[in-house]
Amino acid sequence: MSFDRPRELLKPVKRRFIYLTFAIAILVELIPLPAGSTRWLPDLIGLLLLYWVINQPRRINIGSAFLLGLIADVATAGLFGQHALAYSVTSYLALMQQRQLVMFNLGQQALAVLGLMLANQAIMVVARMITGAAFVGWSYFLPPLIAALLWPLLTKLLLLPYRQHSV
């Protein structure tokens, strides 16, 4: 986790690649998994969204976050608008701090992502509770922890195709 990661010279990111990663994330969300795995599985769409908001703020911003949130709402059969709201707010927060976040090393970024993902869950919990659902318990905040742990891996993985020497 050295400071030189952001200074690494990378090839330009193609728009197609971004869409592809989102498509994969949505597909993963749709995989029929055994009941109970949703308690610890991180929200991949949200994590990926944060990644692109932090690294490609000019292409992926609040509008895309909102649209992705709508798709996530349908995919997870949640309340319409809960993911949209949460993603919009967190991507705004990320966007505000984007210039610092890019300079952080992976560990610091992971911490920031943890906070953002927790905010995500918190917004959704509040939205659901205001619309009349019961509190689901503190285990609802476990997936952000796992998402933050996955952050370095995700970053390495998504940078892989754009390293100069990988050509």
Partner 1 sequence: MDFANNPSFFHQGPRPGVRLALCVLLSVALLIGDSRFSLMEHLREGLSVVLYPLQRAVNVPFAGARHVIDFFTAQAELKAENDALKNQRLQMSAQLLRLATVEREYRELRQLNDIKSSRAEGGQLAEVLYTGRDPFSYKLIIDKGEDAHIRPGQPVIDSQGLIGQVTRVQPLTAEVTLIIDKNHMVPVMIERTGARAILYGYGGGVEVRYLSNQADVHQQDLLVTSGIDDLYPAGLPVARVGKVERNTGAAFARLATSPMAGVQQSRFVLVLNQKQHVPARPATADAKQNATE
- Give the binding site for partner 1 (CB under 8 A): 6-10, 12-13, 26-27, 30-32, 55-59, 61-63, 65-66, 69-71, 74-75, 79-82, 84-85, 88-89, 92, 95-96, 98-99, 102, 127, 131-132, 159, 162
Q: To the nearest whole angstrom, how small is the minimum distance from the Cβ of residue 147 to partner 1?
A: 20
**By the 8 A CB rule, do 131 and 79 touch?**
yes
Q: Report the Cα 110 to chain-centroid distance in Å.
A: 11
Burial of 90 (0-12, 13-18, 19+ CB in 10 A): buried
Q: To the nearest whole angstrom, how small is the minimum distance from the Cβ of residue 99 to partner 1?
A: 6
Q: To the nearest whole angstrom, how small is the minimum distance from the Cβ of residue 138 to partner 1?
A: 23
Shorter beta-carbon distance to partner 1: residue 70 or 114: 70
Secondary structure percentages of the chain, helix, strand, coil, to 5: 70, 0, 30
Shorter beta-carbon distance to partner 1: residue 1 or 102: 102
- Among 71, 97, 98, 96, smallest CA distance to 84 is for 71
Q: To the nearest whole angstrom, how small is the minimum distance from the Cβ of residue 95 to partner 1?
A: 5
Q: To the nearest whole angstrom, how small is the minimum distance from the Cβ of residue 94 to partner 1?
A: 10
Shorter beta-carbon distance to partner 1: residue 99 or 138: 99
Shorter beta-carbon distance to partner 1: residue 31 or 139: 31
Burial of 30 (0-12, 13-18, 19+ CB in 10 A): exposed
